[in-house]
């Protein structure tokens, strides 16, 4: 069998999308996941067993077993910037580059996080529900954000885009990021602080860090207890950074002012999650990076990454690959 299949496994596209035409024009057979859900590990192993040379990946699990079974797979092009669902070491051993879409949707994620923070700080959700139910009353002064203190955990592309928005509305921005230098902080107009100081001082805390063993449950019972009464927590990064049970306890006690979550420890969010029951919590299905601009830009980056590796100059992948060892092997 001629191995020329490209699987688009993210959940938001159809086979009718013209965004994948450059792959078709190059002679590849494009098959798009139209089920509305990501494949599990068993299904993914079956899908990649034969003839698949590339995937445009969502959040499906590329375990060592999946990669070992994918005999024809040459590249994983991740639709997005997180890669915690990929066994990078296994991909590297197999000579498979993991190519990301860095720099294409950070403004989208930051805009979404900012919108969540503003909505919660201004009580928009509860007031919308109040008026639609037929009530019209003054329900108290909302805290707002301008003139207050924001705390960002992480100042990568997304965190920096969030910082610009917060500074623009007159907020002081504190950042906890062990990789941020003092000079970089000054250039960004933010103040670098330790996590304890950020938790103590910030009125809104937005998480923009990767999911690693070191960051798992970074926000736990102790962290929530250290926050200011009424603080708002936003997470558009990765679900495991927040202990959801601890978050539920902090919300139920009235200590927190609200939370906006686009990512969760288990996705889809289980129906039994108590987070569904709070009227000061905004929940969304991991879509913060998916505005119309990102749809075009991120997809084009994935397509270009695949074509560069399979048809063109692998050096074009250098800014996007998280396992550059695979590129060196191709050039040796």
**What is the pTM (predicted TM-score) of this model?**
0.90
Find the catalytic residue in 114, 157, 238, 301.
Answer: 238
The verdict on whether 265 is a catalytic residue reads no
Q: b/e string for 263-277 if b means 16 or more Cβ within 10 A? A: bbbeeebeeebebee
pLDDT in the model for residue 2: 80
208 is catalytic: no
- Exactly one of 157, 165, 176, 286 is catalytic; which is it? 286
Of 41, 50, 194, 267, which one is the catalytic site residue? 267
| Per-domain residue ranges of the chain | 5-104+291-331, 106-283
pLDDT tens-digit series, residues 15-32: 999 999 999 999 999 999
Percent of the chain with pLDDT over 90: 95
Specify whether 267 is catalytic: yes
Distance of alpha carbon 8 from alpha carbon 58, whole angstroms: 8
Query: Cis omega (within 30 of 0) on the bond before 128?
Result: no
Query: Which regions of the chain are under pLDDT 50?
Result: none
Residue 165 in 3-state DSSP? helix
CA dihedral in degrees (71, 74, 78, 82; nearest 10)? 80
Distance in angstroms (rounded) separating the CA atoms of residues 244 and 220: 8
Q: Which fold does the domain 106-283 belong to in CATH?
A: Rossmann fold (3.40.50)
pLDDT tens digits, residue range 239-256? 999 999 999 999 999 999
5-104+291-331: CATH superfamily: NAD(P)-binding Rossmann-like Domain (3.40.50.720)
pLDDT for residue 1: 52
Helices (H), 202-291: 221-226, 244-252
**What per-residue confidence (pLDDT) applies to 331?**
61
Distance (Å, whole) CA 263 – CA 284: 8
Predicted pLDDT at 80: 87
* Same fold for the pair 5-104+291-331 and 106-283: yes
């Amino acid at each position: 069998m001629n191995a020329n299949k490209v699987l688009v496994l993210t959940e938001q596209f159809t086979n009718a999308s013209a965004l994948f035409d450059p792959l078709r024009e190059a002679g590849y057979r494009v098959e798009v996941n139209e089920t509305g859900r990501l494949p599990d590990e068993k299904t993914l192993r079956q899908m990649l067993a034969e003839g698949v040379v590339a995937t445009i990946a969502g959040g499906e699990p590329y375990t060592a077993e999946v990669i070992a079974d994918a005999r024809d797979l040459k590249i994983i092009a991740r639709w997005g910037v997180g890669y915690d669902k990929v066994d990078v070491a296994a991909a590297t051993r197999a000579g498979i580059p993991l190519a990301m879409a860095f720099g294409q949707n950070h403004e989208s994620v930051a805009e979404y996080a900012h919108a969540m923070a503003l909505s919660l700080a201004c009580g928009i959700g509860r007031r919308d529900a109040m008026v639609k139910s037929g009530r019209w009353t003054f329900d108290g002064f909302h805290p707002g954000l301008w003139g207050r203190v924001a705390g960002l955990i992480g100042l990568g592309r997304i965190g920096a885009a969030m910082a610009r928005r917060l500074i623009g509305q007159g907020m002081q921005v504190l950042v906890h990021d062990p990789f941020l230098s003092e000079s970089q902080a000054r250039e960004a107009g933010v103040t670098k602080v330790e996590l304890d100081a950020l938790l103590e001082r910030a009125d809104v805390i937005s998480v923009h860090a990767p999911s690693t063993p070191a960051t798992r449950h970074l926000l736990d019972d102790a962290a929530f207890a250290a926050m200011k009464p009424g603080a708002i927590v936003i997470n558009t990064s990765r679900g495991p950074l927040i202990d959801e049970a601890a978050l539920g306890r902090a919300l139920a006690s009235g200590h927190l002012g609200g939370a906006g979550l686009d990512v969760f420890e288990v996705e889809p969010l289980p129906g039994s999650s108590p987070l569904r029951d709070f009227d000061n919590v905004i929940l969304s299905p991991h879509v913060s990076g998916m505005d119309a601009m990102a749809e075009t830009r991120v997809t084009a980056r994935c397509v270009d990454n695949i074509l560069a590796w399979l048809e063109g100059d692998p050096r074009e992948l250098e800014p996007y690959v998280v396992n550059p060892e695979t590129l060196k092997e191709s050039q040796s």
